[in-house]
Structure 1
């Protein structure tokens, strides 16, 4: 069973097109959690082009008071501002990503070999009671990469599934990408790391992913589930994604 964490960045980005309080990030967090999502994911960026710092604080309060069993996953680059936010909010999971400040979206995992000392320092700084640390990981990181990731003290990796997600019209390439993801996932489990996944996972490509990459603990899905929600509403979209994930 793979748990579903709904990424609300796209909701926040839509809201930010106007100086208006809707669509409500916290309101839709309630909707997806009531529909059975296991948690909420956000990736606040320095320019606040989608999720704002105030959203993070509001979501933390919502989950703490009304959904104590739900998981809050905050993604971000390890900057001093990010450290301060994590200490203030204390989410259950922190996912570290190697994004540049102005990057449009996450598009690669950590170079574990060159950034190993940095990640070890950051992981130890961020680990707290009940707080899990996950590292964004390229699909082809393989044994060597996940071994370094494990040595940093991280609890999980998050497989970057973007290259697989982009193969919607190229089945041969999709098969290649799935093989790489499966190999890295196996290597991660072998060294004691949990495995998450995220980026461009859809109702169409999840079945093949789930079959090829078993024992994924959690999938963080934002863009696709938001696009589907425009057609079917968020409650139905959450139900369908949970079914595709076996949760």
Structure 2
């Protein structure tokens, strides 16, 4: 069995829990199941309105991993606002993914536009690295993006795979979008960056991506994983996604 690439995003678990003033489904409980089943770690995106993940979830997950799963990783995803950076400083996740989201966005749906002012982003990267947190930047599938990320001091990029995932019923278009993802991954590798990928990845569309870019080190999966877990359960879905990645 090879090391896992799978980081399970549990935002949807928190969203379901928040429909009631009750503690279930448990974000930490299901995260523990995922990690016990072989997931590399857990990803969460705490938004300012706490419509799914709450700040308390972040602290609880950080404590869970520190105490019970010290070989696993917590990744915090978010816009580098002062409040978010304070959370990163306090929780000290293994990795932070900076995304250019407006607070009202439903989900991360585009990467950083590096031709705009990135001074605030550069300051956030410096701060996170001072806290010994690995920094990843969310990038569109654009081979020119990784060089900008490297210049800013990031250690990894996460390629936005939404356009590729949206082609589930159009094989020809999927091939074109896959080419963009792979070209971006190769450009990042050539810049010395670690390569992550995430958004709308499934057990069906992961194998072609891994075949062409086997050096991808992490895949953050939430929506597709949760949809799978409703049928197969959390533990079996971890195994299904890891099989799709060629790990078991």
Counterparts of 2:118 and 2:193, CA distance in 1: 16
Give the SS at the match of 1:20: coil
Counterparts of 1:183 and 1:2, CA distance in 2: 23
Q: How many residues are paired up?
A: 245
Alignment map for 1:163-202 (pairs within 5 Å): 163-202=163-202
Q: CA contact under 8 A between 1:120 and 1:151: conserved in structure 2?
A: no
Give the SS at the match of 2:8: strand
Counterparts of 1:70 and 1:196, CA distance in 2: 16
- Of residues 114-123 and 85-94 in structure 1, the stretch that sits farther from structure 2 once superposed is 114-123
Residue by residue over 1:69-91, the C-alpha shift from the partner in whole angstroms, topping out at 9 and shown as x without a partner, is: 10010000000100110010001
Runs of 4 or more above 6 Å deviation: none
TM-score between the two structures when normalised by the length of structure 1: 0.96
Paired position in structure 1 for 2:133: 131
Counterparts of 1:205 and 1:236, CA distance in 2: 18
Q: Which runs of 5+ in 2 are unaligned?
A: none
Paired position in structure 2 for 1:119: 121
Give the SS at the match of 1:113: coil
Counterparts of 1:138 and 1:246, CA distance in 2: 25
Q: CA contact under 8 A between 1:156 and 1:193: conserved in structure 2?
A: yes
Paired position in structure 2 for 1:217: 217
Counterparts of 2:94 and 2:108, CA distance in 1: 21
The Cα shift of 1:119 comes to: 2.3
Residue by residue over 1:56-105, the C-alpha shift from the partner in whole angstroms, topping out at 9 and shown as x without a partner, is: 01111111111111001000000010011001000110000000011000
Q: CA contact under 8 A between 1:5 and 1:219: conserved in structure 2?
A: yes
Over aligned residue pairs, what C-alpha RMSD do you find?
A: 1.2
Q: CA contact under 8 A between 2:44 and 2:76: conserved in structure 1?
A: yes
TM-score between the two structures when normalised by the length of structure 2: 0.96
Paired position in structure 2 for 1:92: 94
Counterparts of 1:197 and 1:2, CA distance in 2: 14
Alignment map for 1:68-107 (pairs within 5 Å): 68-107=70-109
Q: CA contact under 8 A between 2:9 and 2:220: conserved in structure 1?
A: yes
Paired position in structure 2 for 1:60: 62
Is residue 236 of structure 2 the alignment partner of residue 243 of structure 1? no
The Cα shift of 1:211 comes to: 1.7
Paired position in structure 1 for 2:37: 35
Q: CA contact under 8 A between 1:2 and 1:216: conserved in structure 2?
A: no
Give the SS at the match of 1:169: coil
The Cα shift of 1:2 comes to: 5.6
